[in-house]
């Protein structure tokens, strides 16, 4: 019985020891495999850091308004007799837009005109009688007062008659009619909007720290998106007061609007151009990574050479000997590349590029995309066949 127990115990120990040894061997083999497994190089796109001419800018947003734009309304009451425009029609200054019923005003004007003519005749007779010494001064003064009052009444009725006709105060594009023929209108009723679309203005704000960089006549570019700014203009006004609540200063610029592509009230991207600077190192903003420890970039550099292996004295001399059979030495393989993390000091940002003040030297190959899968010392292969930063770089340099 004891013998059987001992045999079973020995077998159990052998099996357990084998399992433990196998697991230890397996874990060690896995560790050795991953420790000696080469790291696959990452394919990256790069740009060369070089001092170039750079035009910095101030980016902001604004709202477009017409340089001349009003909501047209009538000043008097009446029934709409005719509408002389249609939506989106180009009109000129002085064109008739709305005609109200003016029959009563015309009748009153004719009556007042007749009375004014009669008073003028009475004044002329009073002057003749006074010159002959027959009339009195009181009669002459009364005739003069009556003639002046009737003439003023005519002017008043003429003004009231003009109010029955709504005319364009300036040339522009008229909007949708808001009234119909036969509608009774009261003073202040909106008829349509009139906008001069040839020249627009944009209102935007700039931080108070950048006020010193603004001036009247400074060129400004506009667009619906920040990637496309086809409209140009210039600053026409800078508010001399900073808004205490937002710490922003209001700026107004004039915009050329060929073809009327911009519409009043539209949101636009604004880019205020600053003087061009030479010798500035800039990188695409996609190359700069922001972290809690600061801004950094990845620079592609040659990998450090591996440590030289020790060779026997005899073998070294034989290796150094030149070949005697005329065979040429094999070409050296191109040096391998690695990426190094470099912390930089970033200055101004504009037009998709960032100014690098410290950390980068001219000639450095900086990675522009795919930094999230890189780490310091990782092997890399440069492939610039598709480089998303090339277009932005060319646009910024131009």
Which comes out higher in pLDDT, residue 321 or 108? 108
Identify the pLDDT of residue 389.
Answer: 60
Say if residue 122's pLDDT is above 90. Answer: no
Asked whether the predicted pLDDT for residue 256 surpasses 80, the reply is: yes
* pLDDT score, position 251: 94
pLDDT of residue 45 exceeding 50? yes
Check if the beta carbon of residue 195 is closer than 8 Å to that of residue 66: yes
CA separation for the pair 134, 132 (Å, rounded): 6
Q: What percent of the chain has pLDDT over 90?
A: 28
Please state at what angle helix 137-162 crosses helix 103-132, rounded to 10 degrees: 160
What does the alpha-carbon distance between residue 387 and residue 46 come to, in Å, rounded to a whole number? Answer: 7
Q: Quick: pLDDT tens for 162-189.
A: 889 999 998 888 999 999 999 998 998 9
Whether the predicted model's global pTM rises above the 0.75 cut: no
CATH architecture of 58-67+200-273: Beta Barrel (2.40)
CA–CA distance from 26 to each of 30, 34, 35, 139, 344 (Å)? 6, 12, 14, 135, 45
- DSSP letter for 308, please: P
Q: What's the pLDDT at 390? A: 56
pLDDT at 274: 87
Q: Evaluate if residue 396 carries a pLDDT over 60.
A: no
Residue 36 has a pLDDT of 61
Is the pLDDT reported for residue 248 higher than 90? yes
What is the per-residue DSSP string for 72-87? EE-SS-EEEEEE---T
Residue 303's pLDDT is 80
Secondary-structure class of domain 102-163 per CATH? mainly alpha
pLDDT tens, position by position, 262-293:
888 889 999 898 888 888 899 988 899 988 88
Mean pLDDT (whole number) for 225-246: 89
Average pLDDT over residues 367-395: 74
Q: Where are the domains of the chain?
A: 42-55+278-306+333-397, 58-67+200-273, 68-93+172-195, 102-163
Q: Give me the percent of the chain exceeding a pLDDT of 70.
A: 87
Q: How confident is the model at residue 317 (pLDDT cuts 50, 70, 90)?
A: very low
Mean pLDDT of 154-163: 89
Quote the tokens at residue 220: 């400004």
Name which of 163-172, 235-244, 307-316 the model is least confident about: 307-316
Q: Quick check: 42 pLDDT over 70?
A: yes
Residue 143 confidence (pLDDT) above 60: yes
What is the chain's percent helix, strand, coil content, to nearest 5?
30, 35, 35
pLDDT for residue 223:
87
Model pLDDT for residues 60-73, shown as the tens digit of each residue: 999 998 888 889 99
Average pLDDT, integer, range 140-152? 87
**For the domain with range 42-55+278-306+333-397, which CATH number is right: 2.40.420.20, 2.40.160.20, 3.40.50.150, 3.90.45.10?**
2.40.420.20
Measured CA angle at 239 (ends 233, 240), to 5 deg = 135
pLDDT at res. 190:
92
The pLDDT of residue 383 is 83
Computed on alpha carbons and rounded to an integer, the radius of gyration of the chain in Å comes to 44
Over residues 80-105, the mean pLDDT reads: 90
Confidence of residue 313 (pLDDT cuts 50, 70, 90): low
pLDDT the model gives residue 38:
64
Question: CA–CA distance from 169 to each of 100, 146, 259, 280, 370 (Å)?
Answer: 17, 36, 22, 51, 59
């Amino acid at each position: 019985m004891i013998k059987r127990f001992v045999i079973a115990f020995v077998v159990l120990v052998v099996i357990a020891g084998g399992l433990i040894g196998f697991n230890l061997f397996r874990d060690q083999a896995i560790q050795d495999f991953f420790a000696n497994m080469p790291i696959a190089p990452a394919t990256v796109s790069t740009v060369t850091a070089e001092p170039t001419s750079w035009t910095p800018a101030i980016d902001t947003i604004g709202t477009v308004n017409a340089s001349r734009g009003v909501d047209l309304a009538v000043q008097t009451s009446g029934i709409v007799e005719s509408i002389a425009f249609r939506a989106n029609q180009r009109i000129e200054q002085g064109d008739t837009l709305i005609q109200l019923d003016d029959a009563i005003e015309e009748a009153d004007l004719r009556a007042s005109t007749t009375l004014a003519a009669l008073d003028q005749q009475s004044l002329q007779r009073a002057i003749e009688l006074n010159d002959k010494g027959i009339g009195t001064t009181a009669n002459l003064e009364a005739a003069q007062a009556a003639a002046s009052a009737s003439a003023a009444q005519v002017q008043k009725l003429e003004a009231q008659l003009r109010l029955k006709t709504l005319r364009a105060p300036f040339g522009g594009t008229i909007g949708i009619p808001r009234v119909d023929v036969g509608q009774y209108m009261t003073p202040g009723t909106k008829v349509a909007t009139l906008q001069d679309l040839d020249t627009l203005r944009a209102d935007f704000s700039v931080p108070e720290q950048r006020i010193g960089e603004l001036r009247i006549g400074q060129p400004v570019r506009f667009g619906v998106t920040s990637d496309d700014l086809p409209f140009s203009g210039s600053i026409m006004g800078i508010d001399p007061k900073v808004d205490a609540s937002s710490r922003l200063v209001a700026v107004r610029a004039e915009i050329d609007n060929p073809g009327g592509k911009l519409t009043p009230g539209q949101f636009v991207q604004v880019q205020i151009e600053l003087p061009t600077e030479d010798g500035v190192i800039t990188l695409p903003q996609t190359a700069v990574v922001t972290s809690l420890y600061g801004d950094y970039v990845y620079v592609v550099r040659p990998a450090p050479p591996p440590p030289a292996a020790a060779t026997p004295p005899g073998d070294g001399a034989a290796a150094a000997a030149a070949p005697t059979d005329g065979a040429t030495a094999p070409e050296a393989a191109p040096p391998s590349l690695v990426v190094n993390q470099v912390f930089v000091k970033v200055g101004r940002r504009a037009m998709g590029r960032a100014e690098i003040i410290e950390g980068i030297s001219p000639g450095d190959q900086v990675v522009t995309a795919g930094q999230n899968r890189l780490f310091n010392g990782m092997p890399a292969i440069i492939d610039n066949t598709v480089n998303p930063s090339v277009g932005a770089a060319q646009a910024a340099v131009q």
